[in-house]
Structure 1
């Protein structure tokens, strides 16, 4: 085969691929013998093997999209991407971890199995896919819970569900409904976390704050209610609020409260609290995990101090998403 002929054939082959990813069977239909395809994937060759029978038509690290295309070629036309990959492609702000599997749903009757970086789950509840940039994705409600069911610890489940509610606009009621409809396997922790979210925690940090509050013996605060002064001027939406003593608790977390413009916003909020005579306890999220007893002591001390002074004339209104005013 002459050099010019190979160049024309190479262009034809790439045009038949999915962003450079193609099966050995497809290559054979284009005139490339399987032995040639596998030989070109050997060390030092111009191609590489992604999965059994799936080839990337170049060397070097594949892109995430090429890995997804390889997973779909491995699994066939009925495959639907779920889990974190689906969530990210629908707006979740999380980077893929090195070596993170691509989770694929297939109908129960198919026999394709997991291989390499592809995690295959056969199910009798195949979702109607959402199409995004040509990819078949499980709807976000299903995708996030498919990921949660594989987790074994509460903190990462809290973080993922909180991010899904905040970033993807998912309704906790819809998430709970999906849990009730689907398999019971791996649902105990997601159910518990969703109960926390339904109780008012809109971030992983706030859910952990609820656990710290339970150590204090203080009355239960209200969570994420808007606070105004006696003239009706907006003050803030404290993470937690003890109305009888006018004490606010702020979990100052930019990791979970997406969209905060930063330090200037926090200063402005604290100035409004000070002008209204409101006592504030500020906690960084890491202390909720590393030193919960000390945080609980801080709250008790602040509560007692607030109870010892006249209550300022501030008023609560309805529950709001925190980012409405503080962003």
Structure 2
């Protein structure tokens, strides 16, 4: 009589998460340790994380890699940080060359980090959202966790600006999450979040804000305000705005204006503003980086020119 074990392989694959399954679960299904070792050695399976087996061989997809991290972290684990932000659909998230996965677990759990898996114990384990079958932290938590681990200001700016600009979250929600966190890395995030709270919605706008603030002859500039006519009709949302003289500052980003429709919208917006006597000055991100003295001169000249004209009959619509 054969002593070969009968394994329900269909059930094994159904129990796997993106073809990743815990070594202990394979044993529960009756798979022998020797069988697991033999298949891993032959390259049919692979060890995607400590105690986790990839039934598809070496993990090839982001979902497989993250599934291995979740299974390693154990019951109740929640993905956060950069990988979670990408799963939510954010695009301005720098790729980690080490493929680090950030996983949150209850504070009472004692699971150590094993690169490239970073395990963070927290008293505030969030209720996850399921994305592609993976437990993912809410987008605001994921963005803040990712931001606190970035070191480049422009990467931080791009992520926070995209999250707010595309309405994944709000500056107020980001501030609340930042103040509720553990504090690690927040010193780098705070000045960038202050830019977002001031109305900045892109990296070039952040450069522009810094430059404008360095010109003592100019009053404080508003960022992305909504301009309306006297009857309440919406006129435009310029990038920068000096309200005392009605001067608009536009930053023509190639990333945005490479889209012909977006560039057309920009030209129509500028035409509407000039048609209502708004003085408009425009620069590119490259000018902001490489021609700062000239940009300063342009702004001062535009401010002086706008000062000599009657202020246009437009006003800033205050937030409700």
1:49 to 47, 50, 56: 47
SS of structure 1 residue aligned to 2:317: strand
Describe the superposition over 1:205-249 as per-residue Cα deviations: whole angstroms up to 9, x where unpaired: 323221010122212222222334567654321111223333210
1:74 to 68, 72, 75: 72
Report what 2:88 is aligned to: 90
Alignment pair present for 1:315 and 2:314: yes
CA contact (8 A) 1:205 1:256 kept: no
Shift of 1:50: 0.9
CA RMSD in angstroms comes to 3.1
TM-score for both structures, normalised by structure 2: 0.85
Alignment pair present for 1:281 and 2:281: yes
Deviates more, 1:224-233 or 1:296-305: 224-233
Partners in 2 of 1:266 and 1:70 — Cα distance? 45
Matches within 5 A, 1:159-170: 159-170=158-169
**Cα 1:10/1:203, change in 2 over 3 Å:** same
Shift of 1:58: 2.0
Unaligned runs of 5+ in 1: 322-327
Report what 2:121 is aligned to: 122
Report what 1:187 is aligned to: 186
Deviates more, 1:127-136 or 1:160-169: 127-136
Partners in 2 of 1:95 and 1:160 — Cα distance? 6
Unaligned runs of 5+ in 2: none
Report what 2:23 is aligned to: 24
SS of structure 1 residue aligned to 2:47: strand
Report what 2:100 is aligned to: 101
Alignment pair present for 1:239 and 2:233: no
Partners in 2 of 1:279 and 1:191 — Cα distance? 33
CA contact (8 A) 1:228 1:315 kept: yes
CA contact (8 A) 1:101 1:119 kept: yes
CA contact (8 A) 2:80 2:137 kept: yes
TM-score for both structures, normalised by structure 1: 0.83
CA contact (8 A) 2:39 2:45 kept: yes
Shift of 1:254: 6.5
Describe the superposition over 1:111-137 as per-residue Cα deviations: whole angstroms up to 9, x where unpaired: 222224311112233223334444322
CA contact (8 A) 1:92 1:168 kept: no
* Number of residue pairs matched by the alignment: 315
SS of structure 2 residue aligned to 1:41: helix
Deviates more, 1:66-75 or 1:13-22: 13-22
Report what 2:157 is aligned to: 158
Shift of 1:110: 2.1
Shift of 1:11: 3.4
Report what 1:325 is aligned to: none
Shift of 1:47: 1.7
